[in-house]
A and B are shown apart, each in its own frame.
Chain A
Amino acid sequence: MEKKMRPKIIQQLRYLTIKNFKSMIREVSQLVWIFGYPLVFILLFRFGYGLEVFNIFAPGVIILAPIVLISQLAGHFAEEKESGTLQRLVTTPVSRSTVLLSGLFSQLIVAAVQIVVMLLLTLLFGVSINPNANIFLLFFIPFLVAFTSLGFGLILASVVRTASSAGGLAWFIILPLQFLGGLLTAPLLDFIPTALAAEAMGAVMIYGSTAFDPIGLNLILIAIWGIGLILLGILLFRRKTAIL
């Protein structure tokens, strides 16, 4: 029996990620939130303000998409804590780190799908993209923002007790990131990840730029934000769910 049953971390990670996906896609409200929130702004700008305004704000709206993952990830881990499933899982030979990584992986896959869908929708609704725009950067910039969102989500999941409070408190992060970062208005704090990403996205999408400043520099700064937030989130989450 023991020979047959040798749990491998990669397999555990795969099965947990699949489990997370199944749980997510079977909850319609989560799908509506993930795709619906950015879609509302696409429709608003395109049909409310017209194509000219839509062209200006499309980069910010695409950056908006991965920001919603903050509440998604925080809700996911808060639910695992609240329902006791996290504790049940760790009575099996799976580590807390593997459970944590599976949550991050599944959200990153969601982010990738979400960004592609939002890019395709903006194109479908007639946004003008500079012919010299680098397609990879159009995907990579919002994807990097997804990392910072996961960091914020983990930190939030560490401090809340329930999934519903995670969902509510997430707005205190999402809205400042959205408005102070200038995704839908002029930026007020140009050092926060959303402001850095919106500037880089606009440069690529509208001007077809590949210059180090703002693109390369901003990407490095967003990556620093992302790594810092995720490390802090992991540290806090592990501490809050540690064996006492």
Chain B
Amino acid sequence: MEIAIETHNLKKYFDEIHAVDGIDLQIPKGSLFGVLGPNGAGKTTIIRMLSTILHPTDGTATVLGFDIKKEALEIKKRIGVCPQELVLYPRLTARENIHLIAQMHGMAKKDYKERTDDLLGKMNLLDRANSLVKGFSGGMKRRVNVLMAVIHEPELLFFDEPTAGLDPQSRRVVWDFIRDFQERECTIILTTHNMEEADDLSDELVIIDHGKIISQGTPDELKGKLGEGDILEFKIKEIEQRNEIIERAKSLEFVRWGKPVGKHRIVLNALDGLRRVSEIMEVIKVKMEDISVRKNTLEDVFIDITGRRLRD
């Protein structure tokens, strides 16, 4: 297995804040690797270090075989970075913004012109190619932001929250676009706090919190760690009795685990939970505001480990 990215004990401290606190990664070439975590978990800091625009405080990392500290230029020639923020030149057109990145990479004019039109077409932006970006909607800007990262056909792509703030339809367009890149054997690193995105796109992923990896595996492996039960989520009124309620629920042999979440909720994992809701209700004896029953998600994995939601 060829390795695209390898890090050992990678750390980045900003004074007292440990933004990244000893990350070890081995990311195979050609994979789509997800980095899932809440805001402030350290996802962007990892991307910034790997794309050589931030020096690590400690540890080592290689990207495509090049050291991030000593061989930054070699790495920059081979990567594409799609930042979380919309980083565009507002007084340039969509086409000019994309061309600029191709020009910085030394692409031949004929190549980047053809490719830009092809990419703009795929993102449904061809009819606005010559419009100034400052007049674009947020979704259109987001799509140009993505195209600027891929115009030079990089070997490795960093997508930092590529669909943040997008409507569901535009999000699907970007997801299809990312999948298309993966099929070309490009290695993709995708950071997100959207569990559906991480689950749907990633071959393998890490969940990070407070700068540390808290779990790693394929989406199915991670969800499998929670067992085969269903997830039951209750919104309750008796918030001061949540722990007692959870203990009562756990006395049932088919309830595998339970956690308090947010201010008013309880999450239970129960085997065959859908059919046994009434039994659970009888035992926990609470006044519920609502209840939902569903299969495991990556968010449940995060809740299981941290006791918090990704959005908390």
Contacts and interface: CB of A to CB of B under 8 A. Distances in A.
Contact of A83 (B51, B87, B105): B87
B81 A91 contact: yes
Nearest to A25: B91
Interface size class of chain B, counting residues whose CB lies under 8 Å from the partner chain = 20 to 34
Contact of A93 (B54, B77, B88): B77
Q: Kindly name the residue among B51, B83, B89 whose own CB sees the greatest number of chain A CB atoms within 10 A.
A: B89
A244 interface: yes
Interface in B90-148: 91-92, 96, 100-101, 103-108, 111, 132, 148
Contacts of A12: 103-104, 106
A8 B104 CA distance: 8
B106 A6 contact: yes
Interface of A is mostly: loop
Given A22-B92, A88-B87, A15 B106 contact: no
Given A83-B87, A91-B81, A92-B76, A15 B55 contact: no
Contact of B96 (A8, A22, A92, A244): A22
A90 B53 contact: yes
Given A1-B153, A23-B91, A7 B55 contact: no
A93 B104 contact: yes
B152 interface: yes
A19 B87 contact: no
B267 interface: no
Given A5-B107, A6-B106, A244-B54, A91 B91 contact: no
Interface residues of A, number: 29
Contacts of B103: 11-12, 15
Nearest to B93: A22
Contacts of B100: 15-16, 19
A23 B92 contact: yes
A140 B202 CA distance: 61
A92 B92 contact: no
B10 interface: no
A243 interface: yes
Interface of B is mostly: loop
B81 A5 contact: no
A85 B89 CA distance: 7
Nearest to A6: B106
A85 B108 contact: no
B85 interface: yes
B105 A92 contact: yes
A84 interface: yes
B49 to A, nearest CB: 10
A87 B83 CA distance: 10
Given A4-B111, A88-B83, A27 B104 contact: no
A120 interface: no
A100 to B, nearest CB: 14
A87 B53 contact: yes
Interface string A222-244: 00000000000000000000011
B73 interface: yes
B132 A93 contact: no
Interface string B47-86: 0000111110000000000000000010011010101010
B89 A91 contact: no
Given A22-B96, A91-B79, A93-B77, A7 B91 contact: no
Contacts of A220: none
B24 to A, nearest CB: 23
Contacts of B152: 5
A211 interface: no
Given A243-B55, A244-B55, 17 more contacts: A1-B153, A2-B77, A4-B106, A7-B106, A16-B100, A19-B100, A22-B92, A23-B91, A88-B83, A88-B87, A89-B104, A90-B76, A91-B76, A91-B79, A94-B104, A243-B53, A243-B54
13 contacts: A2-B77, A5-B106, A8-B106, A15-B103, A84-B87, A88-B81, A88-B87, A88-B148, A92-B101, A93-B73, A94-B104, A243-B55, A244-B54
Interface of B: 51-55, 73, 76-77, 79, 81, 83, 85, 87-89, 91-92, 96, 100-101, 103-108, 111, 132, 148, 152-153
User: Considering the complex of A and B, which 6 residue pairs feature the smallest CB-CB distances, nearest first?
Assistant: A7-B106, A92-B104, A15-B103, A84-B87, A91-B81, A26-B91
